[in-house]
Amino acid sequence: MPLSEILAVTDNFNPKLLIGSGGFGKVYEGKLANGVTVAVKRSESGHGQGRPEFQTEVLVLSKIRHRHLVSLIGYCDDGAEMILVYEFMKNGTLRDHLYSMASTTTMLNWKQRLEICIGSAKGLHYLHTGSDGGIIHRDVKSTNILLDENYVAKVADFGLSQAGLPDPDHHSMALKGSFGYLDPEFFRTFQLTDKSDVYSFGVVLLEVVCARPAIVNSTAARREEINLAEWGMAWQKKGEIEKIVDPSILGEMNPSSLRKFAEVAEKCLRPDGVDRPTMLDVCWDLEYALQLQQGTPAREEDDDDDDDDDDDEMSAGDDSAGDVDATATDSGSVFSQHRVDGAR
Ligand SMILES: Nc1ncnc2c1ncn2[C@@H]1O[C@H](COP(=O)(O)OP(=O)(O)O)[C@@H](O)[C@H]1O
Ligand SMILES: [Mg+2]
């Protein structure tokens, strides 16, 4: 897109249209000439390094369309400006609806949280295995899971760090990712894999169930509470995860649904990538946790509208769905023996 169009869309980067800022730069709400609302991300550090990679990557990413991925609508690469234009997500980030809530955001109940987790797991599964396959997100976190006007979850900002995008926060690409979410295996191997995304997703699952950040910065926090993954898993090992569950949803939770959910988080957070499930396994397990919540073990009369398209998208990798039980080697957790096929 030409810079002139971006300037028109954002009213010359009108500060009144600013909706947020992150590692890449400032994000503005804008309107395209055809009336579609977009989120415009403007890079703050146009070093120009890695430009060709950036362009190739952005071209690939802008072709990806999936119900649970935020579409990249276009980009602008002009002089010092590097700008990305995304589909606008009306209900903001998942994090906004879990804690540090602004007065305008609404609280999510347990079923909504499960559906959001399932949606984002489907989006990540598609990135990992879909037709444009083999894309590692590299920055899975609760601010990169956005909610549209119907609270449908969409994963944002995927695959960009591969493009050699200038990252003002970090000097090396190797350090891409956000603290509290980073796969510990990465520090041993310096390899990011799709299982690194699975680890980060496990941290998001804990955030969703506990309604607290991945890292607590407060000096008041006790040492063992600083890192959510460590803290959450310590409670899970004791079999007392309910003690750290968000009090506002504890009452409505079916205990078996919570148990299943915590089990998924535990599997995602395993120290070695090979021991972690695939995103497809995670999808099925979370679907099962949702069924347990609804008291409908075999899912038939589900009224939610995302059945058809999503199940098709998941079916590409169905083979591995049956492996769920086989990977359940951790003696500490109780695994239900549900047949994934039966759950469909
Ligand atoms: N597509 C979008 N639709 C609506 N809001 C968005 C969109 N993308 C980003 N935002 C908002 O802008 C903020 C900054 O985004 P970003 O630069 O990706 O940093 P981060 O993901 O670390 O928060 C987000 O937290 C969110 O509030
Ligand atoms: Mg983001």
pLDDT tens per residue, range 84-123: 999 999 999 999 999 866 666 778 999 999 999 999 999 9
User: What residues act catalytically?
Assistant: 139
Task: Report DSSP state, residue 134.
Answer: -
Query: For the chain, what percentages of helix, strand and coil (3-state, to nearest 5) are there?
Result: 45, 10, 45
338 CA to centre of ligand 2 in angstroms:
35
From the CA of 41, which ligand is nearest?
1
- The larger pLDDT score, comparing residue 326 to residue 139, is at 139
pTM of the complete model:
0.84
- pLDDT category, 60, cuts 50, 70, 90? confident
Q: Coil, helix or strand for 195?
A: helix
Predicted local distance difference test score (pLDDT) of residue 130: 86
Nearest CA owner, ligand 1 atom 20: 22
Region of residue 151 (phi > 0: left; psi between -120 and 50: alpha; otherwise: beta): left
Pocket test for ligand 1, best of 9, 27, 169 (most atoms within 8 A of CB): 27
- Cβ < 6 Å from ligand 1: which residues? 19-24, 27, 39, 41, 70, 86-89, 92-93, 143-144, 146, 156-157
Measured by CA distance, the residue closest to atom 12 of ligand 1 is: 20
Q: Is the pLDDT of residue 312 over 50?
A: no
- Ligand 1 center from residue 331 Cα (angstroms): 40
Q: Tell me the percentage of the chain whose pLDDT exceeds 90.
A: 60
* Burial class of 71 by CB neighbour count within 10 A (0 to 12, 13 to 18, 19+): middle
pLDDT digits (tens, 9 = 90+) for 240-296: 999 999 999 999 999 999 999 999 999 999 999 999 999 999 999 999 999 999 987
pLDDT (tens digit per residue) in 157-173: 987 776 555 444 444 44
| Contacts with 232 (C-beta within 8 Å, 6 or more apart), sequence order | 206, 210, 241, 244, 265, 269
What are φ and ψ of residue 215, in 5° steps? Answer: -135, 130
Does 41 count as an annotated binding residue?
A: yes
